[in-house]
Structure 1
Amino acid sequence: MNGKSLGPAPQTVLEVCVDNVAGLEAAIAGGADRVELCAALDCGGLTPSHGLMRAAAQAPIPVYAMIRPRSGSFVFSGEEAAVMAADIAAARETRLAGVVLGACLPDGQLDCELLRKLCDAASGLQKTLHRAFDLVPDHAAALEQAVTLGFGRILTSGGALSAIAGLEQLTNLVQVANGRIAIMPGGGVRPELVASFWQAGIREFHASCSAVMEEVPRLVSFGFQRSGQSQTSVDAVRKLALTIRDLRDAM
C-alpha cells in the first residue's frame, strides 16, 4: 500500500437466517450484520408470524422478512399473491428494514408481473430476490429483470445444490452484475469456503450458522421436535463473522 486512499472499501455483510426469537438473539450475539427472518427454515423459509416480526423490529441490526406463504413451488395464485401483499404490509407496519421475495412462472422464468406488484407494495423497503432465482432457465436474463425491478441483491447458489458447487456461475453473475446489484451466496456457506467466494468479488454472505439441537426423546416421539433439528449457533455465527472481517481487514 502507498498510503493513498482509493475510496471506501466495499461493504461486507453477513446475513443469518433465523426462524425464532432464540435464533435472532444468537445471530445478534454472534456478530451478524443482518437477519433474514423466517418461519420453517427446514423447507427453505416461510413468512414469519406478525408477532415474530414485531419482536425482531427491536433488533439493533437490519431485519428482512421472508415473504413466502407456503412451501413447494414459487408459482403463486392470485389469492396467494394477496396474502404476500398483506405480509409485506405487516413487515412495513412493524418497521422491518426489508423483505425477501421471489415468484416464478410455470416455465421457470421470474414472474415479473407479480414481482412488480410486490415490489411496489414494498416501496421504501430494501428488497432481496430469493433462491427462486436458482430455478430460472437463464440467470443472466433474470439478473437484468431483478435490476429493473429494483432488488438490491440476489440470494443464490448459482443454480447448484450448494453455493460452492455453483461458484463458477456465481463468479459469472458478479461480473454480469457489475456493481448494479449484489450477488449473495447462500446454501452451505461455511468459514472455510469464504475465501473462494471473496476471490470471486463477493462481499455479502448468507448462512444459517446452525448446529444440531439436543433432542428431547419424549418431544420427538410425539412429533413436537424433529430428530436432528437444528438451531442458530452463536459460536457458528461468530466464527463466520470473524472470517469475513479478517478478509475485509486484509484488503
Structure 2
Amino acid sequence: MPQLELAVESAEGVRLAAAVGAVRVELCAALAETDGITPSIAAVEQACRVGLPVHVLVRPRPGSFTYNAEELEVLEGDVVAALGAGAAGVVVGMLADDGGPDVAALLRVAEAARSHSPAAEVTFHRAFDAALAAGVDPAEALIRLERAGVNRVLTSGGSPDCTAGLPMLARLVELGRDHAPQLQIMAGGGVRLELMSALVRSGVHAVHTSARNHNHSTGTRTSAADPLLAAGMAAALAAGG
C-alpha cells in the first residue's frame, strides 16, 4: 500500500503525523501563503526531536524553479544545514532552461547532502508538474531525476490537482518501472479522502497531503491540519483505499 507523508510546519504537526501513522513529514514554512518555503533551522531542530523522519523543504523563495548561482549556493547551504539539524532528507526542485529537471544542480545538491549524511534522501517537489506543463517528455523527466540521485518525485501528474492528474499519475508509475525503477512516484496536490481508492489503484508509492480542510467561505484551505481528516486518510490507505 502507498505510504503516507504529511506536509507540516511545526513539531506539533510532526506529532500529529506520528499519531496517525504517517511514515515521514515534509517540514516547510508559509505553506498557505507561498505553497511552502524553507523553514528555520530552529524549527527543523524542534521537529526532528519528535522522532519521525523529517524531510525539509529547501526552497529559498516562492516563484519560479530556476535559480541563479547565488540562489543555488544558498539552497545547497540550507540542505547541509537541515541535515545537520537532524533531518532525514530534503525536498528540492530545480528546473533547467529547457523546462526539465536540472540534472547538474540536482547532482550538486545530492552530492552535498550525501557527503554530510550518506543515507539522506532527496525528493523532487512539484516543480516536476511545471516541467510536465511546459511539455517536457515525462519519461525523460523521470530519467533525469534518477540520474541525478533523486529518491522520489512529488507530483499531481502535471495537473492542478491529483483528481485531474490521475491518468498521468498512473502513466508515470508505468514509465517509472521502465525508465527509472529506483524512483518513487508520490502523489500530492489537492488530495482528498474520497480520492484515496483511486490513488491506490494508480500504483503510486506514496501519498502526500497537508490534511487541511477546504474553507468554502474564503475559497482556501484552513491553516492547520485536521486530525480527523489525517487519521481518515491514513486508515483509507492502510485499508487499500
Is the CA contact (8 Å cut-off) linking 1:31 and 1:241 kept in structure 2? Answer: yes
Identify the residue that residue 231 of structure 2 maps to in structure 1: 238
With structure 2 as the length reference, what TM-score do the two structures score? 0.88
Aligned positions, number: 225
Question: Structure 2: where are the runs of 5+ without partners?
Answer: none
Mapped partners of 1:114, 1:181: distance in 2:
18
Residues 48-90 of structure 1, C-alpha deviation per residue, up to 9 Å, x if partnerless? 1000110111122211000100000001111111111111111
Matched, 1:151 2:141: no
How many angstroms does 1:194 deviate by?
A: 1.1
SS at match of 1:247: coil
Matched residue, 1:199: 201
Q: Separation in 2 of the partners of 1:108 and 1:228?
A: 29
- Structure 1 runs (4+) greater than 6 angstroms displaced: none
- Whether 1:182 aligns to 2:177 is no
Matching of residue 120 in structure 1 with residue 111 in structure 2: yes
- TM-score (normalised: structure 1): 0.84
Q: Tell me the distance in 1 between the aligned counterparts of 2:213 and 2:11.
A: 16
1:28 aligns with 2:28: no
Paired-residue identity, %: 37
8 Å CA contact 2:14–2:52 kept in 1: the answer is no
Match of 1:68 among 43, 56, 59: 59
- CA drift at 1:228: 6.6
| Partner SS for 1:141 | helix
**1:77 counterpart letter in structure 2:** N
Classify the secondary structure of the residue corresponding to 2:185.
Answer: strand
Q: Distance in 2 between matches of 1:13 and 1:150?
A: 21
Distance 1:102 1:238 in 2: 29
Quick one: distance in 1 between partners of 2:21 and 2:8?
A: 14
Aligned partners of 1:212 and 1:181: how far apart in 2?
A: 31
Distance 2:235 2:91 in 1: 25
What CA RMSD, in Å, does the superposition of the two structures yield over aligned residues?
Answer: 1.8
Unaligned runs of 5+ in 1: 1-10, 214-226
For residues 164 and 211 of structure 1, the distance between their equivalents in structure 2, rounded to whole angstroms, comes to 16
